[in-house]
């Protein structure tokens, strides 16, 4: 009798262990490397929102981990590898500077899948993804062209890299469709995130006569300053309207959730493949915050432009694109600049008076 | 002319935290103590100041929180360097690291919140005067307070007996002790004053400058305040000039960019620091045989009994 | 009754031995309280911080990789601090060394250069670091300007200079205009010691530096001079030791070591030059120098210990979601306790019956 009981108990225990092990193995571990703090209200914050969306969507099936404030240097490689060693099978590295560390770790662990944002190197187990934020910039340019009474835009740039340059150019091209004489003043603050500096830059731009502020930095400081001065501004990365209820025209929202959900689903289904995703408004990677603080006709124009971009009828970088020097840029994409040209953009379009930095 | 007025306003705002923090450190150093932990005390002031304002709805309460935070941090420093005769450089650096880390933990709960920034003075008639109206009559309380503070400190150091004694402690603590002055107590008060100022300066950033809290928002201003004290040869009048000069260079480089002057932005950003080095060298040169630092600055003092 | 501090007649050797242990003990108690306040299990947290990284070879290697630049820089700094010369600018010297060494790598990129490249890079990095450190040293010796502030200001200058180079002249032509040089050729890369890990030649060099410093301080006249000039300046003057010359010498050595650490870090774990190659090594090394009591062997131990806390802090973020700020708090508190306990080597407390002012 006792033997039977023991055997039964053992069987139950074993079943329990096996099912426990099975459910542990079923949980997919997904890791995230963040550049800044999740509270930056900008770039990292949007990735974090997407991660939370993943948790909501997949519940018990996944377990997510993140490391924030990871500097883009030698520490990044270790941070990524630590996530791998902790059992994460799908890892998102959310900044350009993580490109080489991600590649190195990817080569070491061919069975782990990596997703790298805003870079260009990839591998069999390393995908890259990015958003066509310049589509949003084009729309912003159209709006700004209409809303700027002074005809001068103020642009707060972080670093003179292609991502930012293409934003400036798209803005100008969009603005020029409604005001061919639009001007722009650009200040480079050499940081993605420094509220004090961004505020100072916004003040300087406004002092010098700009009346619409756009930024490619991450904090709401500029929006705040514009609000205080009664001017208009565009938010960046996330909704900044609570810092400028009467100020924000719209904001380019980084909407990573659909892409993340799609990739996690593929990983769960076993269908994950290396990919190169660069989508924008159409795939909802880029979303525009509601158009506010503008008259109805401008709002309609903005919405029509957005629809046009989604349909493919409106091309932000339609050829001919004319450079600062007055010469037409070679058109490699048929009727528009091709992706390579945009990704490596290192010139200003006509209408920008500033000397191009970093040549 | 409007642009000039606007630039002056921006410079005043940018220089104010530097002026307040540097004033506190000036007093500390005049008493003979070198507190490198200004950045840590400032960021703690920012975190606690914002928290206080957000929880209570009052800028004044926020400022008080900032002052208290800075003072408490400085008391840790005082305990170590004055109570235990620990090396001041190392303790100051440890204070900075502790402050940055602690403020991140405390402030984490406040990120994303916003408050109503400190109101600006509005005197009908006076504030609307062209060019100087807003500069003189349209600032927020912190700006006026910073000027009152440095004037008060000047008066204290050079026109009161207390100030004389404090300076004596900084120049020759052995003689001061021999004369019967409580050197350690005086230094402790000076350190606490420095902490209070640093905390207030830090609180200014989220209370008036950019009305939200972000970890690390002081962005090195504490180190600049330290440089300013040396730049000013430990004299209050020079400190004001130095603070506004530094603020001006920071703001003007942005304006230069906006105007399209094609100087590489990194060079412009480096100007304030290069300027400080050059000025430090030049100032030290004009005195024969070295700088005008308080002679006992940074040395350990343990009274003989 | 009053508690006063008074100088001991002689160093207390017992305290000297046990003070690090007391300091660590008190730190652990304080941190446990902090963990409890944050709602984390203190025992588990301490385990993740201190024990886990020691349990597998990957973490052990990473500790060595992280400690290498810290130890190298800290040894150099200790020489300065012993001589009462306060070099706070090691971070800037690190960056300049990295830039100088990288110049060779960038210039010989793609050419069939021989094995002389790496040693040349290291030498040039060290030389450049030494020269950069001489600036504050000369300012101090010739003009009496505070070396603390001049060396600190030069950190910002070095950082911006590096930024300018990688965004402009040295940018990788195939890098889509992103601010980074191309990957260094293998001949310009610091060799790895163990396959699969990141432990590299720099660790050996760091050990050699520790040994050399021990010999210098303990067995040479110069070492003796350095120690005396800091501890008893008047006696040093009577002994004919030239304090100015020693300031120049110690700054040069520490600049060289910092620069060497910089180029090794760039040519090793990172593999190319980019902005942000240093997560504050120059400043963390100051802590290491003091934790190691300005003694080369002590610095080696302190460097490894501090590196342990960095690695442990990252693992704590992953395993227990403990924010990274806690690591900074921990390091600050540890330094406080070590400094406080160490002061008891030279001083002690006494209760005396009343205050008597010396009239």
Q: How confident is the model at residue A233 (pLDDT cuts 50, 70, 90)?
A: very high
Is the Cβ of A121 closer than 8 Å to some Cβ of chain C? no
Same domain, A201 and A215: yes
Per-residue pLDDT at C354: 63
The domain that holds A322 is classified in CATH as: 3.40.50.2300
Residue A241 counted as domain residue = yes
- Distance (Å, whole) CA A329 – CA C6: 78
Residue A280 counted as domain residue = no
Same domain, A42 and A117: yes
Average pLDDT over residues A136-161: 92
Same domain, A127 and A139: no
- Distance (Å, whole) CA C297 – CA B109: 42
- Distance (Å, whole) CA B121 – CA C325: 38
Instruction: Say yes or no for a CB contact (<8 Å) between A219 and B255.
Output: no
The domain that holds C55 is classified in CATH as: 1.10.3470
- What's the length of chain B? 305
Per-residue pLDDT at A234: 93
Instruction: Say yes or no for a CB contact (<8 Å) between B259 and A208.
Output: yes
- Distance (Å, whole) CA B95 – CA B78: 11
Catalogue the E-assigned strands of C114-188: none
User: At residue B184, what are phi and psi to the nearest 5 degrees?
Assistant: -65, -40
In the complex, which subunits touch B with 3 or more CB pairs below 8 angstroms?
A: A, C
Cα–chain center distance at C238: 33
List A residues 288-347 in contact with C (Cβ-Cβ < 8 A): 343-346
Lowest mean pLDDT among A247-251, B199-203, C190-194, C254-258: C190-194
C158 min Cα distance to partner chain B (Å)? 9
Predicted complex: ipTM over 0.90:
no
Per-residue pLDDT at B289: 42
For B303, the closest chain C residue by CA position comes to C6
Instruction: Say yes or no for a CB contact (<8 Å) between B265 and A188.
Output: yes
Same domain, A104 and A171: no
For B279, the closest chain C residue by CA position comes to C145
CA-closest candidate to residue C66, choices C244, C345, C271, C270: C270
Q: Decide which of A44 and C185 is more confident.
A: A44
CA geometry: angle A202, A207, A211, nearest 5 deg: 70
C34 min Cα distance to partner chain A (Å)? 20
Residue A331 counted as domain residue = yes
CA dihedral for C250, C251, C254, C260, sign (positive or negative) = negative
Per-residue pLDDT at A19: 42
For C6, the closest chain B residue by CA position comes to B302
Per-residue pLDDT at B287: 54
Pick the last residue of a domain from A97, A131, A165.
A131
| Cβ contacts of B76 on chain C, cutoff 8 Å | 336
Burial of C128 (0-12, 13-18, 19+ CB in 10 A): buried
Let me know: does C306 contact C332? Beta carbons within 8 Å: no
Domain boundaries, position A207:
135-253+289-343
Instruction: Say yes or no for a CB contact (<8 Å) between B280 and C7.
Output: no
For B249, the closest chain A residue by CA position comes to A200
Per-residue pLDDT at B305: 55
| Cβ contacts of B291 on chain C, cutoff 8 Å | 144-146
Same domain, A169 and A305: yes
Residue C167 counted as domain residue = yes
For residue B68, what are the contacts with CB-CB under 8 A and spacing of at least 6? B48, B199
- The enclosing H or E element of A188 equals strand A183-188
Q: Which domains does chain B have, with CATH numbers?
A: 2-286 (1.10.3470)
Same domain, A315 and A195: yes
Does A15 have pLDDT greater than 60?
Answer: no
Tokens of C150: 């001049």
Residue C48 counted as domain residue = yes
Residue A233 counted as domain residue = yes
Is the Cβ of C164 closer than 8 Å to some Cβ of chain B? yes
Q: Decide which of B24 and B289 is more confident.
A: B24
Per-residue pLDDT at A25: 56
Per-residue pLDDT at B157: 93
Does A90 have pLDDT greater than 90?
Answer: yes
| Cβ contacts of B3 on chain A, cutoff 8 Å | 207-208
Residue C179 counted as domain residue = yes
Residue A117 counted as domain residue = yes
Looking at the structure of chain A, the number of domains it has is: 2
Tell me: the pLDDT tens digits for B143-177? 989 999 999 999 999 999 999 999 999 888 888 88
| Cβ contacts of C152 on chain B, cutoff 8 Å | 223, 226-227
Same domain, A174 and A143: yes
Does A183 have pLDDT greater than 90?
Answer: yes
Per-residue pLDDT at A119: 84
Instruction: Say yes or no for a CB contact (<8 Å) between A97 and C167.
Output: no
- Distance (Å, whole) CA A58 – CA A305: 35
Q: How confident is the model at residue A12 (pLDDT cuts 50, 70, 90)?
A: very low
A320 preceded by a cis bond (ω within 30 of 0): yes
Tell me: the pLDDT tens digits for C250-282? 999 999 999 999 999 988 888 888 877 787 788
Same domain, A171 and A229: yes
Instruction: Say yes or no for a CB contact (<8 Å) between B80 and C168.
Output: no
Beta-carbon pairs below 8 A across chains B and C: 158
- Positions in chain C whose pLDDT score sits under 50: 357-359
Its pTM stands at 0.83
Let me know: does C84 contact C229? Beta carbons within 8 Å: yes
In the complex, which subunits touch A with 3 or more CB pairs below 8 angstroms?
A: B, C
């Amino acid at each position: 009798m006792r033997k039977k009981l023991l055997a039964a108990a053992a069987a139950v225990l074993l079943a329990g262990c096996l099912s426990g092990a099975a459910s542990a193995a079923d949980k997919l571990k997904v890791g995230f490397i963040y550049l800044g703090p999740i509270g930056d209200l900008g770039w990292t914050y949007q990735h974090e929102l997407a991660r939370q969306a993943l948790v909501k969507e997949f519940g018990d099936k996944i377990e997510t981990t993140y490391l924030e404030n990871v500097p883009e240097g030698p520490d990044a490689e270790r941070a990524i590898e630590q996530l791998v060693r902790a059992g994460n099978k799908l890892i998102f590295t959310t900044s350009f500077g993580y490109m080489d560390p991600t590649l190195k770790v990817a080569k070491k662990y061919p069975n782990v899948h990596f997703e790298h944002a805003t870079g260009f190197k990839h591998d069999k187990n390393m995908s890259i993804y990015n958003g066509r934020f310049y589509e949003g910039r084009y729309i912003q340019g159209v709006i700004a062209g209409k809303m700027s009474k002074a005809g001068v835009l103020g642009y707060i740039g972080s670093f003179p890299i292609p991502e930012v340059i293409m934003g400036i150019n798209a803005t100008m091209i969009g603005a020029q469709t409604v005001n061919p004489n639009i001007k722009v003043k650009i200040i480079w603050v050499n940081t993605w995130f420094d509220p004090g500096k961004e505020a100072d830059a916004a003040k300087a731009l406004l002092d010098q006569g700009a009346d619409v502020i756009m930024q490619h930095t991450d904090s709401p400081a500029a929006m705040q300053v514009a609000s205080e001065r009664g001017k208009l501004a565009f938010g960046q990365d996330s909704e900044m309207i609570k810092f400028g209820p009467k100020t924000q025209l719209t904001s380019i929202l980084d909407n990573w959730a659909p892409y993340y959900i799609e990739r996690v689903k593929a990983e769960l289904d076993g269908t994950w493949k290396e990919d190169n995703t660069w989508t924008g408004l159409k795939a909802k990677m880029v979303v525009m915050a509601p158009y506010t603080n503008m008259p109805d006709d401008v709002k309609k124009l903005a919405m029509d432009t957005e629809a046009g971009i989604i349909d493919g009828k409106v091309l932000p970088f339609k050829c001919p694109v004319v450079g600062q020097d007055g010469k037409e840029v070679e058109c490699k994409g048929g009727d528009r600049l091709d992706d390579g040209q945009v990704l490596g953009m290192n010139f200003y379009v006509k209408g920008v008076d500033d000397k191009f930095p970093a040549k | 002319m409007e642009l000039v007025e606007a630039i002056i306003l921006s410079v005043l705002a940018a220089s104010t935290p530097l002026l307040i923090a540097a004033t506190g450190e000036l007093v500390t150093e005049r008493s003979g103590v070198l507190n490198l932990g200004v950045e840590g005390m400032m960021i703690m002031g920012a975190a606690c100041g914002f928290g206080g304002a957000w929880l209570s709805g009052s800028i004044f309460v926020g400022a008080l929180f900032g002052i208290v935070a800075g003072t408490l941090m400085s008391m840790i420093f005082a305990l170590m360097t004055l109570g235990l005769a620990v090396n001041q450089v190392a303790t100051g650096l440890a204070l900075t690291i502790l402050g940055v880390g602690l403020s991140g933990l405390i402030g984490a709960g406040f990120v994303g919140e916003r408050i109503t920034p400190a109101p600006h003075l509005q005197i009908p008639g006076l504030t609307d005067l062209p060019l100087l109206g807003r500069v003189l009559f349209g600032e927020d309380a912190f700006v006026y307070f910073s000027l009152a503070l440095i004037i008060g400190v000047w008066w204290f150091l050079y026109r009161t007996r207390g100030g004389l004694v404090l300076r004596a402690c900084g120049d020759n603590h052995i003689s001061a002790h021999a004369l019967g002055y409580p050197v350690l107590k005086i230094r402790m008060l000076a350190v606490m004053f420095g902490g209070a100022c640093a905390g207030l300066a830090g609180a200014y950033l989220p209370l008036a400058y950019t009305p939200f809290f972000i970890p690390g928002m002081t962005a090195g201003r504490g180190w600049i305040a330290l440089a300013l004290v040396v730049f000013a040869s430990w004299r209050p009048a020079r400190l004001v000039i130095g603070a506004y000069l530094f603020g001006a260079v920071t703001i003007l480089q942005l304006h230069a960019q906006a105007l399209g002057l094609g100087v590489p932005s990194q060079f412009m950003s480096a100007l304030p620091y290069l300027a400080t080095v050059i000025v430090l060298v030049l100032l030290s040169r004009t005195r024969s045989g070295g700088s005008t630092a308080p002679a006992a600055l940074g040395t350990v003092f343990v009274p003989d009994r | 009754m009053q508690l006063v501090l008074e100088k001991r007649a002689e160093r207390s050797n017992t305290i000297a031995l046990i003070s690090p242990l007391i300091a660590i003990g008190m730190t652990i108690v304080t941190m446990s309280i902090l963990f409890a306040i944050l709602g984390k299990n203190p025992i588990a947290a301490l385990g993740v911080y201190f024990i886990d990284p020691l349990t597998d070879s990957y973490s052990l290697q990473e500790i060595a990789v992280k400690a290498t630049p810290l130890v190298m820089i800290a040894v150099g700094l200790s020489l300065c601090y012993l001589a009462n010369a306060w070099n706070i600018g090691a971070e800037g010297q690190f960056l300049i060394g990295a830039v100088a060494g990288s110049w060779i790598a960038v210039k010989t990129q793609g050419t069939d250069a021989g094995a002389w490249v790496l040693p040349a890079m290291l030498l040039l990095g060290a030389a450049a670091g030494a020269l950069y450190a001489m600036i504050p040293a000369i300012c101090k010796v010739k003009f009496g300007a505070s070396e603390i502030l001049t060396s600190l200001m030069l950190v910002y200058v070095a950082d911006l200079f590096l930024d300018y180079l990688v965004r402009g002249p040295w940018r990788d032509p195939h890098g889509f205009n992103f601010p980074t040089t191309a990957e260094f050729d293998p001949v310009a890369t610091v060799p790895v010691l163990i396959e699969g890990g990141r432990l590299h030649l720099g660790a050996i060099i760091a050990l050699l530096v520790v040994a050399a410093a021990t010999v210098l301080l303990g067995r040479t006249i110069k070492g003796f001079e350095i120690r005396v000039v800091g501890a008893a300046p008047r006696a040093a003057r009577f002994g004919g030791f030239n304090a100015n010359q020693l300031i120049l010498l110690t700054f040069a050595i520490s600049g060289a070591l910092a620069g060497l650490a910089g180029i090794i870090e760039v040519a090793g774990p990172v593999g190319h030059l980019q902005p942000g190659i240093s997560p504050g090594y120059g400043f963390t090394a100051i802590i290491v120098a003091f934790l190691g009591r300005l003694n080369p062997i002590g610095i080696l131990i302190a460097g490894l210990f501090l590196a342990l806390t960095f690695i442990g802090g990252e693992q704590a973020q992953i395993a227990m979601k403990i924010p990274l700020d806690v690591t900074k708090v921990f390091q600050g508190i540890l330094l406080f306790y070590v400094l406080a306990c160490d002061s008891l080597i030279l001083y002690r407390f006494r209760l005396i019956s009343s205050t008597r002012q010396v009239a």
